[in-house]
């Protein structure tokens, strides 16, 4: 297939902007779906109230007057005649570049709020051309600075025009016929340029099905591969040694933790390779269960590895494990991260190869090609490192066939877990350890912000720390009503900057910088950390006792629960404050429900959009158009169809099947 640079109109700058959106191929570009559609339909002016949003078309009647202010701001005023002959004033800010296009007599569409007394529309958008008698449906894309939604639309349509016939269709022909689906190229053309809402709905279902079919094919393939691999490691578990270690822990394990340990130890004893999901609520104690699994593996004579998503989290795991192993002097545990010096890395690689290291904790680098193990028996990984067939094959090529324990801190209803983790056995920890501090949760409106600030100040005066969460990194034109991290930094600086250190962290911050900021917060060098949901799964900061989440209505309850779990990890009482002017009835569930599994069930019942994994799914489950929750029926059908397709020996489907398998094995 052609490269992205071959698409007409996409120059070097365009490629740079597209890369920021993680668009690196033509396939990435044409499947960069609109996140919403603006339905442009002429407003009936006879029914308009003062302050209403209006969409009116007509012609420019006067030459626009441009006024410029400090800080690069500008404002344009002109008169406009509607198609009904009514003259209205139009004001628009920061659109000076449109002045030369707005010549007298030009047909335009004005979108904005009307002031009936002054007979003025304050426009937020002006589009060239008028409206037809039928509604116009315009796609709106997630974009980036320097690349508008309109630019993206142009690139996408050019790619479809030039290379649409080369785009892979992942639905077998017999299933396209069964469900009366349009072909891929036509479907993509419609979703990016819908003429009617009915056609848009039809192709959206088709494209969701394709994405979920592809995902479930992968899950089913991994499941059948696991069944074939019966030659796992058989261990003699020294239960007496393990029980002795457990008895010396500074806390008592819960019934759920003990049950999960029994399930894992049984897997480690069997000749079938373990491929198990350890799923638990926030603070339920999954990590100590994984430590015990690694210790059992060590007692049986094998090396173990624990992978974490970030350096700071890997360091935290390492420090905790070393602390728990203070009576197990013989166990050699090392930390391997990007900060490890070249000399230290070389030494660690040599010792891993010679079997002089028993357990290594670090990031994804632990299973890279240049790392050689003596006898790796168990890999513990988390929800950001889905351990697929590609990684397993890499290890098998070195003669290693380890068991895999995969941890997830996202409480998901069991029916969902059994579907989306269908290639795994599932262990669940629901019970929280005794002594875990309750987190008081409050729902506050924006007009109660003074009270929110006072609650924050109370914690800060007690020498505690505060998380502040926003849904956006920076202000965006299409989401101007939402609070951003950068806007909150200015406000918090104004309120607390004189006395307390404030910093920000978000998805665009480089990983090493993000770790440095989180380290400062952990060490109380920063008292207020403003962030997006990147802190949802992260390092423990026992001194952080307050979390404030702005525009809380924009998050699923499961995400709010995950975020809330960042506080309440120390000895002090903690609080979580949800700030929102809407959807307060749904948010109030958080005030009295603390069980993550119960919350995820409520989330499913109440929320028709969003997902079970926050604003984006983790790891393999990043979907461009499908949604595991709202599209669950499609998911179940895709699961059934993909399983039949995988087992079907029809030669007509062999080429597509082989291609899908090759994409899985390439990782």
Between 281 and 236, name the one with better pLDDT: 236
Residues of the chain within CATH 3.40.50.300 domain(s) are 263-429, 439-593
Question: Per-residue pLDDT tens for 285-325?
Answer: 899 999 999 999 999 999 999 988 778 888 889 999 999 99
Angle subtended by helix axes 12-20 and 149-163, to nearest 10: 110
Beta pairing partners, 405: 276, 380
Confidence of residue 478 (pLDDT cuts 50, 70, 90): very low
Mean predicted confidence (pLDDT) in 634-644: 93
Half-sphere exposure of 545 (CA within 13 A, CB side): 18
Q: What angle do CA 528, 531, 535 make, to 5 degrees?
A: 100
Per-residue exposure over 431-460, b if at least 16 CB sit within 10 Å of its own CB, e if not: bbbeeeeebebbbbeeeeeeebeebbbebb
Distance between CA 608 and CA 630 in Å, rounded? 6
Question: What's the DSSP call for residue 647?
Answer: H
Q: Which two tokens stand for residue 543?
A: 């001194």
Q: Decide if pLDDT at 616 tops 80.
A: no
Residues of the chain within CATH 2.40.50.140 domain(s) are 42-134
Beta pairing partners, 547: 467, 576
Instruction: Find, among 39, 131, 120, 127, the residue nearest to 86 by Cα.
Output: 120
Q: Among the ranges 127-136, 598-607, 618-627, which has the highest mean pLDDT value?
A: 127-136
Question: Per-residue pLDDT tens for 21-52?
Answer: 889 999 999 999 998 898 888 888 888 899 89
CATH of domain 439-593: 3.40.50.300
Which pLDDT does position 614 carry in this prediction?
A: 39
Question: Which segment of 332-341, 536-545, 580-589 scores lowest on mean pLDDT?
Answer: 536-545
Which pLDDT does position 667 carry in this prediction?
A: 59
Label residue 593 exposed, middle or buried (CB < 10 Å: 0-12, 13-18, 19+): middle
- Report the CATH superfamily, name and number, of domain 42-134: Nucleic acid-binding proteins (2.40.50.140)
CB 569 within 8 A of CB 521: no
Confidence of residue 434 (pLDDT cuts 50, 70, 90): confident
Which pLDDT does position 1 carry in this prediction?
A: 57
Question: Which segment of 332-336, 415-419, 496-500, 622-626 scores lowest on mean pLDDT?
Answer: 415-419
CB 233 within 8 A of CB 377: yes
Could you list the beta-strand ranges (E) of 83-128. Answer: 87-93, 107-115, 120-128
Q: Is the dihedral of CA 609, 614, 616, 619 positive or negative?
A: negative
Which pLDDT does position 608 carry in this prediction?
A: 39
Question: What's the DSSP call for residue 666?
Answer: T
Q: Which two tokens stand for residue 462?
A: 């007690």
Q: Decide if pLDDT at 610 tops 50.
A: no
Distance between CA 58 and CA 467 in Å, rounded? 49
Beta pairing partners, 91: 77, 122
CB 538 within 8 A of CB 310: yes
Instruction: Find, among 348, 389, 396, 386, the residue nearest to 364 by Cα.
Output: 386
Give one DSSP letter per residue of 575-644, joined into a string. EEEEE-SS-HHHHTHHHH---HHHHHHHHHHH-SSS-TTTTS--GGG--SS--TTTTHHHHHHHHHHHHH
Distance between CA 507 and CA 514 in Å, rounded? 9
Confidence of residue 274 (pLDDT cuts 50, 70, 90): confident
Distance between CA 609 and CA 628 in Å, rounded? 10
Mean predicted confidence (pLDDT) in 312-341: 89
Which pLDDT does position 632 carry in this prediction?
A: 85
Question: Per-residue pLDDT tens for 77-102?
Answer: 999 999 888 899 999 998 998 999 99
Percent of the chain with pLDDT over 90: 48
Which pLDDT does position 229 carry in this prediction?
A: 66
Question: How many angstroms separate the first and last alpha carbons of the chain?
Answer: 19
Give one DSSP letter per residue of 171-228, joined into a string. S-HHHHHHTTPPPHHHHHHHHHS-SSHHHHHHHHHHHHHHHHHHHHHHHHHHHHHHHH
CATH 3.40.50.300 fits 263-429, yes or no: yes
Mean predicted confidence (pLDDT) in 582-591: 88
CB 321 within 8 A of CB 245: no
Which pLDDT does position 619 carry in this prediction?
A: 40
> How far is the CA of 645 from the CAs of 167, 373, 626, 642, in angstroms?
21, 37, 20, 5
Q: Which two tokens stand for residue 287?
A: 């990590």
Mean predicted confidence (pLDDT) in 396-418: 76
Confidence of residue 476 (pLDDT cuts 50, 70, 90): very low
Which pLDDT does position 88 carry in this prediction?
A: 94
Q: Decide if pLDDT at 481 tops 80.
A: no
What lies within 8 Å, CB to CB, of 319 at 6+ separation is: none
Mean predicted confidence (pLDDT) in 657-662: 89
């Amino acid at each position: 297939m052609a490269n992205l640079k071959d698409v007409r109109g996409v120059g070097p700058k365009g490629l740079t902007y597209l890369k920021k959106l993680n668009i690196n191929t033509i396939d990435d570009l044409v499947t960069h779906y609109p996140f919403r559609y603006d339905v442009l339909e002429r407003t009936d002016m006879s029914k308009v109230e003062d302050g209403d949003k209006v969409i009116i078309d007509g012609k420019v009647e006067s030459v626009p007057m441009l006024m410029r202010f400090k800080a690069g701001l500008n404002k344009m005023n002109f008169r406009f005649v509607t198609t009904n002959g009514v003259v209205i004033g139009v004001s628009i800010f920061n659109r000076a570049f449109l002045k030369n296009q707005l010549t007298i007599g030009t047909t335009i569409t004005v979108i904005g709020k009307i002031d009936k007394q002054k007979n003025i529309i304050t426009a937020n958008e002006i589009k060239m051309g008028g409206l037809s008698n039928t509604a116009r449906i315009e796609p709106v894309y997630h974009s980036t600075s320097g690349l508008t939604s309109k630019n993206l639309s142009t690139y996408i349509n050019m790619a479809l025009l030039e290379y649409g016939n080369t785009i892979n269709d992942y639905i077998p022909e017999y299933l396209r016929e069964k469900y009366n689906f349009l072909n891929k190229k036509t479907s993509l053309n419609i979703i990016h340029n819908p003429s009617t809402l009915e056609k848009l709905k039809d192709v959206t279902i088709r494209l969701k099905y394709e994405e979920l079919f592809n995902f479930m094919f992968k899950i089913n393939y991994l499941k059948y591969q696991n069944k074939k691999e019966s030659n796992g490691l058989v261990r003699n578990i020294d239960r007496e040694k393990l029980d002795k270690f457990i008895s010396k822990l500074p806390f008592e394990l819960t019934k759920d933790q003990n049950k999960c340990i029994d399930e894992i130890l049984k897997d480690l004893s069997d000749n079938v390779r373990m491929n198990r999901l350890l799923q638990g609520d926030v603070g339920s104690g999954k990590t100590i269960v994984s430590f015990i699994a690694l210790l059992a593996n060590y007692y049986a004579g094998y090396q173990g590895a624990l992978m974490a998503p970030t350096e700071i989290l890997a360091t935290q795991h390492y420090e905790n494990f070393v602390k728990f192993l203070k009576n197990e002097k013989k166990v050699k545990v090392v930390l391997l991260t990007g900060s490890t010096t070249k000399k230290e890395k070389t030494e660690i690689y040599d010792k891993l190869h010679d079997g002089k290291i028993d357990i290594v904790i670090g990031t994804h680098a632990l299973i890279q090609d240049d790392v050689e193990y003596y006898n790796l028996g168990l890999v513990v990984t988390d929800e950001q490192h889905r351990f697929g067939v590609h990684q397993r094959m890499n290890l098998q090529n070195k003669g290693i066939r380890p068991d895999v324990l995969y941890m997830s801190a996202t409480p998901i209803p069991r029916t969902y877990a059994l579907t989306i983790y269908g290639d795994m056995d599932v262990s669940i920890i629901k019970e929280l350890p005794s002594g875990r501090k309750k987190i008081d949760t409050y729902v506050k409106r924006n007009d109660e912000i003074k009270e929110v600030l006072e609650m924050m100040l109370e914690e800060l005066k007690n020498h505690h720390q505060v998380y502040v969460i926003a849904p956006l990194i920076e202000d965006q034109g299409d989401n101007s009503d939402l609070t951003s991290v950068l806007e909150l930094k200015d406000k918090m600086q104004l309120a607390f900057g004189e006395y307390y250190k404030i910093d920000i962290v978000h998805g665009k911050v480089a990983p090493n910088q993000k770790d440095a900021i989180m380290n400062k917060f952990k060490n109380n060098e920063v008292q207020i950390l403003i962030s997006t949901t990147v802190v949802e799964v992260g390092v423990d900061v026992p001194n952080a006792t307050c979390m404030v989440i702005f525009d809380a209505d924009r998050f699923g309850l499961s995400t709010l629960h995950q975020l809330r779990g960042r506080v309440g990890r120390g000895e002090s009482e903690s609080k979580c404050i949800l700030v929102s002017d809407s959807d307060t009835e749904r948010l109030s569930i958080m005030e009295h429900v603390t069980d993550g599994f119960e919350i995820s069930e409520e989330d499913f019942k109440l929320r028709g959009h969003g997902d079970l994994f926050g604003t984006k799914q983790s790891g393999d489950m990043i979907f461009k158009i499908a949604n595991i929750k709202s599209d669950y029926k499609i998911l179940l059908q895709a699961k059934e169809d993909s399983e039949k397709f995988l087992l079907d020996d029809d030669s007509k489907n062999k080429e597509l099947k082989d291609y899908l398998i090759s994409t899985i094995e390439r990782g």
